[in-house]
Amino acid sequence: MKKIAICPGSFDPITNGHLDIIKRASTLFDKVIVLVVINPVKTAAFTPQERAEMISVATEGMPNVEVDTYNGLLVDYLRQVGATAIVKGLRAVSDFEYEFQMALTNKMLLPYAETVFLTTSAQNMYLSSSIVKQVAQFGGDISEFVPRRLHKRIKERLGPRQGLPAGE
């Protein structure tokens, strides 16, 4: 039986930290589905379709990685596609409480599914989509933070001209 894992997240936008986790997950499972989950609580800079498209570009050349979008309970998606694992990256202690809570909730809802935590690579410890957005909004260099092929697109969307007017 094929082992299918889901890498869920907001990915607004995908960072090099996400990409590293996806790449490493793709060596552990037969198939990895990167799932852009719509979180109504978060205000997003990119639409779910745009985020999925950027992930597709970033994961080109990873034959067992697919991308999808979803608006619902993660465990329902796992059931639909026959996945048995959820892969998440853990950066620091600060991630732990939230991730642990989600992992236990998902375990209650779908006991056969396992959450697998991969420790983030040292160079990505500090990285998050929010940090990328903040740096880009003020015209900073995001080239070390996001996949190379997406620099231009992310800068164009988030760059200073698209940010808040001075003083706000």
**Which residues are annotated as catalytic?**
18, 42, 91, 129
Residue 11 · residue 132 · CB < 8 Å: no
Placement of tokens 């930290």 in the chain: 17
- Among residue numbers 20 through 79, which ones bind ligand PNS (CB under 6 A)? 37, 39, 73-74
Residue 57 gets the label, from left (phi > 0), alpha (psi -120 to 50) or beta, of alpha
Residues 99-118: x where in contact with ligand PNS by CB under 6 A, - otherwise, as a string: ---x--xx------------
Residue of the chain from 4, 5, 6, 10 that contacts ligand PNS (CB under 6 A): 10
Stretch that binds ligand PNS, among 8-16, 55-63, 118-126, 135-143 (CB under 6 A): 8-16
Cα–Cα distance, 125 to 23 (Å, whole number): 16
Provide the token pair at 94: 């600060």
Q: Which stretch binds ligand PNS (CB under 6 A): 3-11, 117-125, 130-138, 149-157?
A: 3-11
